[in-house]
Structure 1
Amino acid sequence: MLLNYVRFNFFIKRIFKRMRFFLFLFLSLYIESNITERDDVKEFIKFAISNSDLDRDEVLAFIKDAKPSKKAVVLKNNQPEVKATWDSYRSTRVSATRIINGLKFLLDHKILLENVEKDFGVSKFYIVSIIGIETNYGRNYGSFNPLDAIFTRAFDPKSKYWQNELLELFKIAKRYNLQPKNMRSSWSGAMGLGQFIPSSYNSYGVDYNYDGVVDLMDSREDGIASVANYLKVHGWINDALTVEEVEIENRISSLSEFQIDELVLPYRINNFRTKISADEIKKGGLKFNENFSGKITPLLMHQKGKTRLFLGFDNFRVITKYNRSSKYALAVHQLAEEIEKKYYETI
């Protein structure tokens, strides 16, 4: 009798365990297929309607097909700007192939780039460099769609900043009669030749070919001019210093990346938020002979087996508005320099 009871009890527990599993599976599928039933999404829909000219049906039509992307989360948590060493990061962004392809892109669009440089006051070499790093000169716009990518950042976990980006995406979709699910973007929802997130698309995108559409996907004119406009609006000054490399004392000229990270200085190195004078840098422990005016961001990098000191100026920090990373801005500068060298060797 006791044995039968034990068997019966075990049988009932197994049934309930399976029921819980299938209930969880059902609820997961239901929530995924009924994204608009989520409380946080309902709250966003109200926000979108009250902060745009979109009506409820339009917002629902755009958001109903959104699906969180696990791959986008993985990429967000493994960004090379954070994870990679400078040598590793630089090797893929300032490679010989990228330099040659940058020269080709420049020559293919020479007249357009010179016109943009004249109209916006931004160096064509830096425009090309940013496009090269962002999309490999238009070869790679990303393997995501901006709806799923931005939805993931907006709700997993909840972020007001990215919910606003989702609304900006819907504004673009309505204005140009597009379907966000069918558009291409990076894992973070950046789109087009220069990889603009939706708010940047709406704020800095330029209709440079005057066809009535800001088209950062298919128009080279709009894409190139929009990159220039972004830099101009954020304070770029042509012919001003961007980055200068200076010789440093032998005692720190062969530090490893780990040793650089362990350096104790009265200011933060390799951080674009650091803005100090040349004298402050020297007094703090990084000695060099040159004198510079203005605020400087000190960058101490292990590059090709040697410790190198780069000084970032206002234009350097303008580039960090595009991507908030010192590695990114330094790579843009170095790629621009290499493309410029090749250009003047060619003409």
Structure 2
Amino acid sequence: MNSKGPSIKPFAQLFRVADLAHEALIKDTPMTKRDMYYMDVPLFKSQSVVDRLVDDLAATIDVGRAELNIRASSKGLLCGSSLCIHLLDGQAIHATDSEPILIPVAEDIERFELKREIQWVLIVEKDAVFQTLCRAQLTRIASLPGPGIMITGKGYPDLATRQLVRTLSDNLPESIPILALVDGDAFGIDIASVYKFGSHALRHEKEKLVAERVECIGVWASELQDFGIDRDAMLPITKADEKKARTMLRRSNDMMPLRWKQELARMLHTRRKAETEILSTIKSSAFDEPSEFPAFASSEPTSVIGHPLVRYLTAKITQRLELLSASLLAPDSPVSTDSDEDLLFP
């Protein structure tokens, strides 16, 4: 046998994925990509092979993954007591302000319900940062204009997380911003891009997943000097960072906002990147504008009051709400009078 000839393994992997999808449809038994991987580990070798082949198969025959009876494995988390998720089996999942819950797959969800008015939605790239903000109960903190909802996809988001963000984007009033907190590097900005513009792998499902209202609020490496963090405190970029940034800079302006491109270009110039955790090193003296960082309620723990990450986000969210409110009240801008209290949406 000629060992240098073309391998039949990719074809065997593809046919195995197609066979498993066909079996799931015939038996009407939903299957996850993780299930498929464990059904033939020696053939697939890695989970990423199954992930890619499932997405390629769905794109080739122009159907959604759900139409192949292949379900996404949930990994995204939700925090915020204002939101309740009603499932098709009659259960209701109530989110809290301190303990995150797993976002169910879309196929199990009947509808979402907002139990009370919210003012903002925050997507957080990193699970560790998200957990810190949950413990601080950011979704109900008194220094913000009102309660909110926090979501994390733990890095690049899964399908269920993207579908939730899209649903919120489609149904919440324009007065409620949907913001993203990501690392100040190419991969962080790319994660924000997946929420806002979609991903290449699921381009055939773009219309069901993109949430164009998503706005990235940082972390911007360009702003850190204003907080007393110098260049040497930031991490040097890697070859992977550089390659990713250069690829993203080639995207059209309608798929990569100018501000995002400026940050990528700056990263390449300075050879430095900023992870979200660097915000924890900001000294309290850096927040020298009391009006931008109002006092916290006395009932909140001292550790929350002084946490730099919380103070940073308080300022960012408040600023965005003020700008949005001003734009909606402008004479040439339509004003949304719809209330999201007790709002139900599919």
Same fold by TM (over 0.5)?
Answer: no
Shorter-chain TM range is under 0.3
TM-score by structure 2 length? 0.26
Question: Which of the two has greater helix per residue?
Answer: 1
TM-score by structure 1 length? 0.26
Please tell me whether Structure 1 or Structure 2 has the larger radius of gyration of its CA atoms. Answer: 1
